[in-house]
């Protein structure tokens, strides 16, 4: 039973606390057990569980068989054991289950008021027996689950109970007490969990018929209030259990039966009152209830009043005690009305309005008290949500061909070349396939207006001048060009035809204006007998130079559709006249934007967002009718709809544009804005003051501000005409007093209404809000649903004659889901609403990719549903404040599902969703690993959100910065542009939910607030940086504690750093982690943002860090303490390391038998040493090598003279401190050609070692291999390696690079082992990390964590998982060759160079988004134990072979272990 009154607040219900079990998710779900991975498909119509929850087998009809003992029973059900109880005190029956296993069932006849008792005993040595059971009521075969059951009972798939037997000697027994008189029988089977064996009766269920008592209830009714109290007492007596609506009803009827039995024994109603209300006399609610029942107010009126109170309170969650109190408060309110002299009939007429009465009647019929109804989610395959498009580089496609200028553009260019002053205004208007130029400039100190058009018919200019924006005033005679005709308020001048380049003919006119008082020029054209206007309105050109638009350097526009943004910036002065102008210009630019791809659409989005956030002028000196705005809006959204239909890869960004623009007009809704404000004024006698000023503003230029103004008026009226509420609503939505005054038709006054106007104004403004939202709000749910479901409005002055037909092809049941959403949209208990919103989006999703002439309405509905999810989550934070982890996780799963419905390339989110479903089932199955697994899913979800934010930033921020600079947008608005985009979506809500759950999971999984990767005590000055990468090559003069917000895993530890603290989660065995331990630098991840923020407050101060296993204690120190603390660090910061230059031994390739220290590095020698010495189940790949000196020999070959010369010059640049030469050197190395002798020797060695030769597959394959070899050599000059050698003063020229060649294994998993735990230094346990696919995701800069575990060397068969994997991607590859770096600078005394240089596969790896919900390493306990134990045993064997701690890399393929390299653990 739910904790809410819901739409069912009609009878008191006392039976619920926080529910642990949530409604079953309808995706295929999984459950991680200790050793098994079970798929729960009980709800699936397509996949029935192999074990029915009723276990009825094949249905047979048994009518004459006497089953066991007692009365004959004619039944139509499957074969089953039937134990029918007679009226004796106890009935006993025995069954032989299997050989020496015997079952005995005893049924005790209940005494008056007591429960039926069933004792079940099994003679068996097994201690893992479970009773799988349920109860039968009425004629239904379906099991119901009694709420009273033995200790230890678990609910199985919400359809059966499982109770463990209690072992006693050689017997196992349990007792079941049934106190529900409506239960007629029990059915059960016995399950031996250890043997996975079922005990049935002839393939069917055991059936125990419970004894019945004679009905003693006389034909007398019990007062409902008394039944309610008795039900409450039963609920308290049973421990305030969680009841479903069906169980609530059963409890209610059981309470009634108990009271009827008491009456049958002769107890009077009055005595019953005294008896049951004397219990717990301190319960104030019950006392109030008793006193209240003495009134004569009918119960149905109390129920309706309670319902009204609950709705008025926002449908909150009520505890059972609060529910009782609410009924009594409702009763008191009605008593007050009676005391005032009102009759019951008057009260009934007042409160039982049609809508309320129908809702209450509906709930009475349901008998579902205090329970918010829920929709039934359909079962769907979660992978059906997948949308994936090929990734394309974000770069503007710039044509190399010069732009072809039209005749009018050429005319404009020619004029601009002659003008000696500034250009003040320039517009080129589209007139069908022709154009009109209006150019305003200062020439020879005078304002000059140039007009030109290529219309074929003669053109007359009908024009005027304005001293106030928008007015028509006759131009002075001195301004009129020759041949002009003066009219009352205008003039007419014919344009002259001219040819400006002997090819193109245009009609043009020049007007000189010397009077500075004129600010603008309105005009229309007359051509061929037709008036030519600007989309139905007058043309208007400004004559003054406004504030300069380019306020700062706009940059080069890299990463943007620069040409489109430049065009938008050039048209902004026209666009700012009105929304009509802006939307029409945007529509004109849609073709260019679509052709420019994602960057072009990003340009439109940025422009529209700057408009929506009021960074651009909405209306300037232009009067436009609302219907014209609505029409322009409609035109733009139609074009957006068409692009959405034709280019599915752009749907995500198109949704964002449409949500910003709004829907546009339907059924001439735009004109209604103008008309209906008059209806409000007329109906409510409010024609002056603020309402008249708003009326004038609406007539001049309506905007989204009007939605806010209307809402502010409604809130002001609702709050008893409190004008402070009016201003608060405006200010909360970005509208200040200054903004109201800035409108062309300013709003100066505050609202001032009479109290007698309240009801009429609330009614009419509510109706008007619908009209406003229909035009301006793309995310308004009610209007979006109305547009899709259809409506027709008549009368009352609002939306008169507006008829919207339903969208065709809507799925069956969809209208009911939408109706459910609307009914519950304001509920405080938001969980059922969230389910409804997400279900509606799931139903809608297929329609969005199908042809439909009303696609736009469906898109806007989807946008509105998505927006409602975010709003509901924000409203539900209070509900989650004391929620169980399961409830928060369920909320998260709903929001992840919703987000997956909103974004493209959503594979990672879908696998996160599957992970949350697994975590929820683990929790329900009471798996002790649930929190640890859920933490990994949480981490992955955060990474997914971060990746999406990064993609938005890459796509949108460059355009926001470029256009923002061109248009003079406030810098703060530019800086937070992408951040605000993200905040506006459900991703921000999801992030907040993750933050709520994270500390709960960490506490449950005993993870603490820290993961200490390198446990070194440190003292240093705190420095905060965004990225460790940005300071890795810096040297700090003082001992420094770095707080780095981002650590990827491949960085170096900077000189002078004594500690690195980060919220990021690099693997414990990543490069930076190894570097930290080797350099004796404290390195730790902090999971608690509050702790990290507190440490950041010490920036510039001296701090002492003392790490423990899962904690870091820190304290501030005095400056003089640093000298002694840093001495040891200073001494050891630059170890003395020397290299011996290796020489070419005359061989280009050698086999593993020839590996020596003069020929190859430690990596090659170690792998050769393992062959034949490790256990046979540890596989070692075959290897050959290109020894030391081969690179130098190839470089000195005559084939590569030019390359050698170029490298010499670049090395000189590098020696001179020009570090940009590093990249040039690497690229130059790739130009080397292979000497024929190298090719010959390498081929012979590989073939003699039974390795595949790439050249056998064609010359191109050899070229791929040769390029990989050169990339390994070139990595000698990568930045990380170069600066690392400089730090230890290692002579870079002496560094030589051999290349180890191995056949690559397309791994299922890759691992790295440290045979001494690196975090604790414990040599008795092995630490290892495992990733899916190739090991590059483990040792490289790939986000997320690997699966990590430890294993005691004394018990290698019992690995202990420390963390589940959160890496979103894995790398996989075809059968291939890998070329591994093997330098003489690795694994030196005092310097670990491992990992600095590249290993390069011949073929490119495929990056695959990972699904851990089906990965046996994660979900199959036996498989996981087997693999991890094998990895640990391999590590132990290799450590034993070398006699020292080892750092080992390897892979798992088809369950087999392969070790690819080992080195001493540093």
Per-residue model confidence as pLDDT tens digits over 368-420: 444 557 888 988 999 999 988 866 555 555 444 566 788 888 888 888 888 88
What is the number of helices (H) and of strands (E) in the chain? Answer: 44, 50
Distances (CA, A) of 1377 to 1184, 1231, 1244, 1269: 11, 21, 15, 11
Q: Is the pLDDT of residue 1383 over 90?
A: no
Q: Is the pLDDT of residue 585 over 90?
A: yes
Return the percent helix, strand and coil in the chain, to nearest 5.
40, 20, 40
Per-residue pLDDT band at 216 (split at 50, 70, 90): very low
Residue 992 to residue 207: CA distance in whole angstroms:
51
Residue 293 to residue 274: CA distance in whole angstroms:
13
Query: 857-866 in b/e burial notation, b at 16+ Cβ within 10 A?
Result: bbbbbbbbbb
pLDDT score recorded for residue 320: 63
Contacts made by residues 430-435, CB under 8 angstroms, sequence distance 24+:
430/588, 431/455, 431/532, 435/406, 435/407, 435/408, 435/409
Q: Is the Cα dihedral 292, 298, 300, 306 positive or negative?
A: negative
pLDDT score recorded for residue 800: 53
Helix axes 562-575, 598-612, angle to 10 degrees: 30
Q: What is the pLDDT of residues 600-658, one digit of tens each?
A: 999 999 999 998 888 888 877 677 777 788 888 889 999 999 999 999 999 999 999 99
Q: Which residue has the higher pLDDT, 6 or 459?
A: 459
Residue 700 to residue 578: CA distance in whole angstroms:
10
Distances (CA, A) of 1082 to 1118, 1362, 1395: 20, 21, 20
Distances (CA, A) of 1193 to 7, 508, 787, 1244: 85, 76, 76, 19
pLDDT score recorded for residue 82: 53
For 634, phi then psi, to 5°, come to -60, -40
Per-residue pLDDT band at 1206 (split at 50, 70, 90): very high
Distances (CA, A) of 222 to 301, 310, 530, 877, 1459: 19, 27, 86, 42, 79
State the chain's mean pLDDT as an integer.
81
What are the beta bridge partners of residue 1103?
1020, 1116
Q: Is the pLDDT of residue 67 over 60?
A: no
Alpha carbon of residue 821 to chain centroid = 21
Q: Is the pLDDT of residue 490 over 90?
A: yes
Per-residue pLDDT band at 922 (split at 50, 70, 90): very high
Residue 3 to residue 952: CA distance in whole angstroms:
40
| Maximum pairwise Cα distance, the chain | 124
Among the residue ranges 493-507, 823-837, 908-922, the one predicted with the least confidence is 493-507
DSSP secondary structure code for residue 422 in this structure? -
Q: Which residue has the higher pLDDT, 1126 or 1460?
A: 1460
pLDDT score recorded for residue 295: 46
Under a CB-based contact definition with an 8 Å cutoff, are residues 118 and 179 in contact? no
Sort strands 101-108 and 1150-1151 into parallel, antiparallel or unpaired: unpaired
Residue 299 to residue 757: CA distance in whole angstroms:
35
Under a CB-based contact definition with an 8 Å cutoff, are residues 1323 and 1435 in contact? no
Q: Is the pLDDT of residue 1125 over 50?
A: no
Q: Which residue has the higher pLDDT, 775 or 1437?
A: 1437
Q: What is the pLDDT of residues 1064-1079, one digit of tens each?
A: 888 777 778 877 887 8
| CB neighbourhood size of 692 (10 A) | 15
Q: Calculate mean pLDDT across residues 965-994.
A: 86
Query: 798-830 in b/e burial notation, b at 16+ Cβ within 10 A?
Result: bbeebebeebeebeeebeebbebbeebbebbbb
Q: Calculate mean pLDDT across residues 324-340.
A: 81
pLDDT score recorded for residue 536: 76
Under a CB-based contact definition with an 8 Å cutoff, are residues 555 and 961 in contact? yes
Among the residue ranges 320-329, 1081-1090, 1204-1213, the one predicted with the least confidence is 320-329
Per-residue pLDDT band at 261 (split at 50, 70, 90): confident
| CB neighbourhood size of 524 (10 A) | 16
Per-residue pLDDT band at 1124 (split at 50, 70, 90): very low
Structure tokens at 1029: 């990468």
pLDDT score recorded for residue 861: 93
pLDDT score recorded for residue 293: 37
Q: Is the pLDDT of residue 1379 over 70?
A: yes
Q: Calculate mean pLDDT across residues 509-535.
A: 90
pLDDT score recorded for residue 1090: 86
Under a CB-based contact definition with an 8 Å cutoff, are residues 637 and 654 in contact? no
Residue 712 to residue 704: CA distance in whole angstroms:
13
Per-residue pLDDT band at 929 (split at 50, 70, 90): very high
Q: What is the pLDDT of residues 1339-1370, one digit of tens each?
A: 777 888 999 999 999 999 999 999 999 999 99
Under a CB-based contact definition with an 8 Å cutoff, are residues 750 and 757 in contact? no
Q: Is the pLDDT of residue 146 over 90?
A: no
Residue 1278 to residue 1271: CA distance in whole angstroms:
10
Sort strands 1456-1464 and 1178-1179 into parallel, antiparallel or unpaired: parallel
Under a CB-based contact definition with an 8 Å cutoff, are residues 409 and 926 in contact? no
Per-residue pLDDT band at 1119 (split at 50, 70, 90): confident
Residue 421 to residue 1172: CA distance in whole angstroms:
88
pLDDT score recorded for residue 340: 77
Residue 431 to residue 536: CA distance in whole angstroms:
12
| CB neighbourhood size of 970 (10 A) | 12
Q: Calculate mean pLDDT across residues 959-983.
A: 88
pLDDT score recorded for residue 1356: 95
Residue 1269 to residue 1253: CA distance in whole angstroms:
14
| CB neighbourhood size of 1221 (10 A) | 20
Under a CB-based contact definition with an 8 Å cutoff, are residues 1412 and 1364 in contact? yes
Q: Which residue has the higher pLDDT, 591 or 1320?
A: 591
Q: Is the pLDDT of residue 1453 over 90?
A: yes
Query: 1087-1105 in b/e burial notation, b at 16+ Cβ within 10 A?
Result: beeebbeebeebeeebbbb
Alpha carbon of residue 347 to chain centroid = 50
Burial of 633 (0-12, 13-18, 19+ CB in 10 A): buried
Which residues are catalytic, by number?
A: 1071
pLDDT score recorded for residue 317: 63
Among the residue ranges 1158-1162, 1342-1346, 1393-1397, the one predicted with the least confidence is 1393-1397
Residue 89 to residue 614: CA distance in whole angstroms:
83
Residue 886 to residue 916: CA distance in whole angstroms:
10
Residue located via tokens 């420390």 = 1362
Q: What is the rounded radius of gyration, in angstroms, for the C-alpha atoms of the chain?
A: 40
pLDDT score recorded for residue 554: 66
Q: Calculate mean pLDDT across residues 702-724.
A: 89
| Total residue count of the chain as it appears in this document | 1466
Sort strands 496-499 and 434-443 into parallel, antiparallel or unpaired: unpaired
Per-residue pLDDT band at 1391 (split at 50, 70, 90): low
Q: Is the pLDDT of residue 1437 over 90?
A: yes
Q: Which of 1019, 1016, 1128 is nearest to 1080 (CA)?
A: 1016
- Full strand arrangement of the beta sheet holding 1400-1401: 1150-1151, 1183-1186, 1297-1304, 1376-1383, 1400-1401
Burial of 1117 (0-12, 13-18, 19+ CB in 10 A): middle
pLDDT score recorded for residue 1388: 60
Q: What is the pLDDT of residues 1026-1056, one digit of tens each?
A: 999 888 888 898 999 999 998 888 788 888 9
Q: Calculate mean pLDDT across residues 960-974.
A: 89
Q: What is the pLDDT of residues 70-103, one digit of tens each?
A: 333 333 333 445 554 444 567 788 888 887 788 8
Residue 125 to residue 172: CA distance in whole angstroms:
8
pLDDT score recorded for residue 464: 95
pLDDT score recorded for residue 436: 94
Q: Calculate mean pLDDT across residues 766-779.
A: 76
DSSP secondary structure code for residue 942 in this structure? H
H or E stretch at 758 = helix 758-776
């Amino acid at each position: 039973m739910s904790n809410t009154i819901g739409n069912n607040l009609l009878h008191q219900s006392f039976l619920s606390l926080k529910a642990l079990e949530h409604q079953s998710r309808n995706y295929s779900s999984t459950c991680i057990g200790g050793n098994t991975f079970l798929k729960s498909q009980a709800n699936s119509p397509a996949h029935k569980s192999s074990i029915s929850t009723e276990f009825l087998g094949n249905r047979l009809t048994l009518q004459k068989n006497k089953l066991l003992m007692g009365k004959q029973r004619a039944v139509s059900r499957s074969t089953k054991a039937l134990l029918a109880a007679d009226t004796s005190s106890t009935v006993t029956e025995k069954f032989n289950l299997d050989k020496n296993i015997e079952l005995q069932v005893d049924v005790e006849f209940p005494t008056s008021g007591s429960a039926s008792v069933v004792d079940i005993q099994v003679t068996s040595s097994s201690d893992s027996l479970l009773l799988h059971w349920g109860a039968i009521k009425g004629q239904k075969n379906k099991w119901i689950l009694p709420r009273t059951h033995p200790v230890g009972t678990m609910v199985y798939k919400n359809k059966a109970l499982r109770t463990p037997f209690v072992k006693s000697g050689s017997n196992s027994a349990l007792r079941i007490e049934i106190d529900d008189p409506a239960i007629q029988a029990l059915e059960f089977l016995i399950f031996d969990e250890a043997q996975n064996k079922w005990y049935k009766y002839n393939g069917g269920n055991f059936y125990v018929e419970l004894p019945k008592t004679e009905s003693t209830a006389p034909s007398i009714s019990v007062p409902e209030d008394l039944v309610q109290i008795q039900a409450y007492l039963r609920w308290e007596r049973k421990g305030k259990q969680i009841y479903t609506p069906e169980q609530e009803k059963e409890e209610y009827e059981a309470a009634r039966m108990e009271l009827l039995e008491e009456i049958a024994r002769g107890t009077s109603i009055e005595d019953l009152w005294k008896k049951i209300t004397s219990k717990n006399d301190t319960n104030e609610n019950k006392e109030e209830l008793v006193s209240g029942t003495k009134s004569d107010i009918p119960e149905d009126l109390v129920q309706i009043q309670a319902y009204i109170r609950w709705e008025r309170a926002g449908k909150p969650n009520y505890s059972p005690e609060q529910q009782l109190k609410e009924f009594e408060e409702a009763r008191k309110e009605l008593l007050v009305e009676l005391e005032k002299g009102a009759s019951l009939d008057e009260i009934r007429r007042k409160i039982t309005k049609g809508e309320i009465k129908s809702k209450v009647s509906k709930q009475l019929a349901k008998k579902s008290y205090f329970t918010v109804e829920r929709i039934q989610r359909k079962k769907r395959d979660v992978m059906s949500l997948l949308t994936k498009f090929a990734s394309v580089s974000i770069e503007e496609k710039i044509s190399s061909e010069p732009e072809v200028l039209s005749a009018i553009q050429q005319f404009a260019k020619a004029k601009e070349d002659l003008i000696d002053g500034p250009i003040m205004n320039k517009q080129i208007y589209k007139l069908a396939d022709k154009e009109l130029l209006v150019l305003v400039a200062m020439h020879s100190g005078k304002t000059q207006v140039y007009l030109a058009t290529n219309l074929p018919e003669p053109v007359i200019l009908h024009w005027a001048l304005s001293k106030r924006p928008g007015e028509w005033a006759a131009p002075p005679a001195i301004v009129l060009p020759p041949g002009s005709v003066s009219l009352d308020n205008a003039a007419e001048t014919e344009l002259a035809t001219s040819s400006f380049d002997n090819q193109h003919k245009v009609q043009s006119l020049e007007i000189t204006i010397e009077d500075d008082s004129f600010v603008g020029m309105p005009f229309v054209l007359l051509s061929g007998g037709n008036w030519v206007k600007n989309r139905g309105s007058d043309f208007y050109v400004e004559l003054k130079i406004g504030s300069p638009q380019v306020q700062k350097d706009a940059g080069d526009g890299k990463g943007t559709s620069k040409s489109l943004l430049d065009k938008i910036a050039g048209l902004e002065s026209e666009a700012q006249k009105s929304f009509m102008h802006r939307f029409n210009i945007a529509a004109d630019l849609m073709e260019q934007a679509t052709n420019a791809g994602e960057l072009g659409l990003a340009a439109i989005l940025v422009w529209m967002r700057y408009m929506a956030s009021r960074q651009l002028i909405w209306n300037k000196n232009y009067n436009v009718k609302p219907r014209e705005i609505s029409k322009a809006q409609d035109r733009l959204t139609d074009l957006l709809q068409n692009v959405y239909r034709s280019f599915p890869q752009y749907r995500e960004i198109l949704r964002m544009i449409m949500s910003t623009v709004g829907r546009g007009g339907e059924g001439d809704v735009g004109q209604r804005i103008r008309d209906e404000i008059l209806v409000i004024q007329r109906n409510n006698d409010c024609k002056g003051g603020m309402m008249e000023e708003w009326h004038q503003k609406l007539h001049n230029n309506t905007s989204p501000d009007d939605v806010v103004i209307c809402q502010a008026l409604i809130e002001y009226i609702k709050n008893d005409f409190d004008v402070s509420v009016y201003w608060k609503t405006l200010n909360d939505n970005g509208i200040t007093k200054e903004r109201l005054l800035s409108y062309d038709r300013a709003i100066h006054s505050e609202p001032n209404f009479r109290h007698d106007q309240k009801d009429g104004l609330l009614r009419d403004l509510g109706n008007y809000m619908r009209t406003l939202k229909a035009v301006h709000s793309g995310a308004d749910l009610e209007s979006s649903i109305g547009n899709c479901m259809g409506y027709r409005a008549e009368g009352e002055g609002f939306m008169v004659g507006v008829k919207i037909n339903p969208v065709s092809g809507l799925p069956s049941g969809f209208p009911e889901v939408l109706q459910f959403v609307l009914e519950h949209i304001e509920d405080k208990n938001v969980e059922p609403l969230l389910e409804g919103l997400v279900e509606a989006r799931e139903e809608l999703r297929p329609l969005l990719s199908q042809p439909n002439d009303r696609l736009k309405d469906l898109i806007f509905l989807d946008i509105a549903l998505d927006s409602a999810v975010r709003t509901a989550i924000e409203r539900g934070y209070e509900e989650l404040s004391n929620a169980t982890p399961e409830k928060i996780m369920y909320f998260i799963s709903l929001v992840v599902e919703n987000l997956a419905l909103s974004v493209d390339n959503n594979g990672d989110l879908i696998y996160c969703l599957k992970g949350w479903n697994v975590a929820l089932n683990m929790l329900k199955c009471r798996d002790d690993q649930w929190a640890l697994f859920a933490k990994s899913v949480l981490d992955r979800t955060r990474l997914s959100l971060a990746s999406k934010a990064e993609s938005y930033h890459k796509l949108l921020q460059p355009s926001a910065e470029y256009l923002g600079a061109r248009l003079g947008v406030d810098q703060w608005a530019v800086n937070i542009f992408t951040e605000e985009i993200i905040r506006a979506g459900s991703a921000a809500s999801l992030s907040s939910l993750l933050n709520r759950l994270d500390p709960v999971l960490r506490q449950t999984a005993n993870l603490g607030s820290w993961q200490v990767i390198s446990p070194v005590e440190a003292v240093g000055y705190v420095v905060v940086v965004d990225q460790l990468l940005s300071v890795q090559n810096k040297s700090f003069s003082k001992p420094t504690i770095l707080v780095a917000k981002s650590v990827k895993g491949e960085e170096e530890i900077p000189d002078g750093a004594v500690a690195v603290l980060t919220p990021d989660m690099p693997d414990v065995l990543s490069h930076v982690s190894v570097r930290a331990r080797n350099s004796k630098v404290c390195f730790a991840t902090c999971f608690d943002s509050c702790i990290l923020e507190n440490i950041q407050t010490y920036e510039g101060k001296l701090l002492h860090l003392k790490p423990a296993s899962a904690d870091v204690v820190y304290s501030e120190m005095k400056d003089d303490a640093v000298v002694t603390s840093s001495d040891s660090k200073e001494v050891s910061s630059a170890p003395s390391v020397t290299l011996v230059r290796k020489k070419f031994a005359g061989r280009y390739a050698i086999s593993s038998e020839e590996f020596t220290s003069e020929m190859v590095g430690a990596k090659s020698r170690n792998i050769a040493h393992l062959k034949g010495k490790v256990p046979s189940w540890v596989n070692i790949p075959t290897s050959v090598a290109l020894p030391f000196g081969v690179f130098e020999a190839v470089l000195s070959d005559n084939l590569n003279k030019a390359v050698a010369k170029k490298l010499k010059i670049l090395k000189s640049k590098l020696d001179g401190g020009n570090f940009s030469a590093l990249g040039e050197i690497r690229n130059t190395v790739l130009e080397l050609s292979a000497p024929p002798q190298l090719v010959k020797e390498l081929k012979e060695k590989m073939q003699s070692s039974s390795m595949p030769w790439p050249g056998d597959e064609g010359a191109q394959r050899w070229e791929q291999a040769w390029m990989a070899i050169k990339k390994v050599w070139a990595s000698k000059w990568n930045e990380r390696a170069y600066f690392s050698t400089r730090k230890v003063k290692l002579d870079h020229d002496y560094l030589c690079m051999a290349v180890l060649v191995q056949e690559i294994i397309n791994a299922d998993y890759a691992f790295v082992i440290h045979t001494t735990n690196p975090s604790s230094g414990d040599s008795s346990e092995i630490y290892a990390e495992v990733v899916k696919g190739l090991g590059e995701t483990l040792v490289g800069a790939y986000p997320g964590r690997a699966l990590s575990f430890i294993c005691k060397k004394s018990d290698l068969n019992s690995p202990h998982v420390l963390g589940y994997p959160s890496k979103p991607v894995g790398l996989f590859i075809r059968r291939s060759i890998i070329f591994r770096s093997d330098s003489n600078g690795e694994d030196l005394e005092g310097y670990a160079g491992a990992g600095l240089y590249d290993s390069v596969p011949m073929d490119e790896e495929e990056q695959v988004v990972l699904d851990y919900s089906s990965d046996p390493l994660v979900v199959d306990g036996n498989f996981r134990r087997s693999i991890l134990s094998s990895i640990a045993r391999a590590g132990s064997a290799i450590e034993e072979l070398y006699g020292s701690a080892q750092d080992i890399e390897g892979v798992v393929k088809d369950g087999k272990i392969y070790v690819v390299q080992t080195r001493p653990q540093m």
